[in-house]
Amino acid sequence: MKVESFSWARSARPTAWSLEVLRAMEWKRLELVTAAYFRHRGYRAETIDHGPDGGVDVRLFESGSGSAHAIVQCKSWGRRVDAKPVHELAGVMAHEKVKRGIFIGTGGFTLEAKQFAGANRIECVSAERLAQRIDALAPSAQEELLQVAVCGDWTTPSCPSCGAKMALQTRRRGAAQVWRCGACWPRRNQVEFRAADPEEAWTLQPIEDPAQTPSDQEHRTGAMKARVLSVALAVAAIGIAALTLKPVVGSFPKLPPPAKVAVPLPTPQRPPTAAAPAPIPVAPAAMQDADARERQAAQLELKRREAAFQTYFQRSDQCAIEANPTTVACVNEYIRVRRDFEQQWSQGSR
């Protein structure tokens, strides 16, 4: 994004240079005036008409040199430039192996930005210093630069995407006015600028680039997709847990139900006349011994069958690893082997 903010005081077309002219120019006109100034200083200056500039607005070449002598960044802002854009210019200088940088900011610079620029071979040029340098040129050169600055529509911002002039529009009733490019809107690569107080001066601040920020509809669609995905993952996790735990729980041996003992009921008798407690019927000792022997035999049979299964069941190499026995594949392996063993045991093959 080339422009962050600038001010426009509505007035008649100027006939001489002043600070108001420098601060009223839109961002592209400031770049053109800067390039024309350095051409009068003997440099070959190259600019980019529109589109991404890679952090460089003007490249300066000395006569006969194929590599850039310096790179220039221009900011037609109504506020002071902080250290972040200056850091970015230093990064571009290091990438392109350029030893000198020039930062032109019509709103001035913060102290931190000036300190960093001085330590990294970057010259900070405010609107006052640029006006002094233009005044030092010959009168004919000053007139030529003024024609470049104020010819045509020199205060309406240009579209950073296509270079066409933007139009002031209202997004919806009661909302702030914005600058939009009729040639690019509503394509996603268009930049909007919000306008304030139209009666005295225009203070433009950028709205986030639609090419980088998704629309409200995309926000809603993305949130819906995220919710659906989270629900699907939760259902899948529950299903995997059910498949893993159910075979393991079902594989534990079931003990046979206790044998039912038929206890004969005593013959009803007339209660004795004396207040004595009725005798409690007791199962015969032989019947109790038979019941105990039956339960003992069932337990011995269960232990023998389980010992035979432990001898019969051999885990595969993959499931023999301690970290793998609870995986779905290993649990299914255990179920298949257990089913085959129980079938053979019931048939008497084991």
Instruction: State the pLDDT at residue 209.
Output: 43
> Between 25 and 200, where is the model more confident?
25
3-state SS class at 188: coil
Span 66-118, pLDDT tens digits: 889 999 999 988 889 999 999 999 999 999 999 999 999 999 999 999 999 99
Residue among 93, 70, 73, 68 nearest 27 (CA): 73
Taken in order of first residue, the domains within the chain and their CATH numbers are 1-153 (3.40.1350.10), 156-217 (no CATH), 240-254+284-350 (no CATH)
Span 284-321, pLDDT tens digits: 666 777 778 888 888 888 888 888 878 887 777 777 77
> Between 269 and 151, where is the model more confident?
151
Instruction: State the pLDDT at residue 83.
Output: 94
Of the candidate ranges 5-9, 171-175, 279-283, 291-295, the one whose mean pLDDT is the lowest = 5-9
Question: Is pLDDT above 60 for 346?
Answer: yes
Residue whose tokens read 């690569």: 189
Instruction: Find the mean pLDDT for residues 170-188.
Output: 67
Reported for 345-348, long-range contacts at CB under 8 A and 24+ positions apart, including other chains, are: 345/305, 345/308
Cα–Cα dist 148/146, whole Å? 5
CB-count exposure of residue 199 (10 Å: 0-12, 13-18, 19+): exposed
Instruction: Find the mean pLDDT for residues 22-37.
Output: 91
Residue among 318, 340, 313, 343 nearest 329 (CA): 318
Instruction: Find the mean pLDDT for residues 167-181.
Output: 71
Residue 47 φ/ψ, nearest 5 degrees? -125, 170
Task: Name the pLDDT band for 145 (thresholds 50, 70, 90).
Answer: very high
Instruction: State the pLDDT at residue 202.
Output: 37
Instruction: State the pLDDT at residue 260.
Output: 65
Span 148-165, pLDDT tens digits: 999 888 888 888 777 788
Task: Name the pLDDT band for 245 (thresholds 50, 70, 90).
Answer: low
Mean pLDDT of the chain: 77
Residue among 36, 26, 22 nearest 140 (CA): 36
Of the candidate ranges 94-103, 143-152, 273-282, the one whose mean pLDDT is the lowest = 273-282
